[in-house]
Structure 1
Amino acid sequence: MSKKYDFTHMSRNELLETVNGLIHSGDLTLDDTTSLLGFMGSSPLLKVDYDGLPLENGDVPMNVFEHIKASMEGARSRNETTSIAGLQRALDALMKFQKSNIAAQA
């Protein structure tokens, strides 16, 4: 049985560490998780337009599933079918490791 995680309350840094660990253990592939790169870690690249506010802290918990769903909606509005498919693949992959059975279909 694989370890279970709570992606509904996980920071960007924790997501990066978790996904890397799951890839290294063979439980996930790069293809499963490429769409998550923008959600992981704390990087100056997360803030393209400087608005005078500090960069988002990579240790602040977020709901990864909600971020994926919002990204899917944005991709749908732009008719980006490849992005939608990649995000759905990432969502499905993470659901296998989610602690509880939550509805995460977008």
Structure 2
Amino acid sequence: MSKDIFKDTPDLQEYFETSDGQRFYKEDLAKNHARSLEDKSVATVYRDQEIEATKETAKEIIAKIPEMDLQTAKEYLEAENSDDPRKSVVKALIKRIAELETPKD
């Protein structure tokens, strides 16, 4: 689905978005996909609602970083760099990835 889903689909009143940003027309499909994710939440986005409202704050992401595994940290970094990167989040994720990639003696 494109970023302008409501513009592309004038009759659409809502869609369902999983924590990894995947969008679905049907809630059951979104919930099924979310089962494979660490964060299993599914947000309902309505035509008059801003998508940005569902985006995690920098503070929320930074609080999660110490517990992240390497794959999760890389996924967050990729997602952060694809949007409007927040320097504090990018810096913290790069530091965490470096910690996880450095072999422990």
- Relative to the length of structure 2, the TM-score reads 0.36
> Normalising to structure 1: TM-score of the pair?
0.36
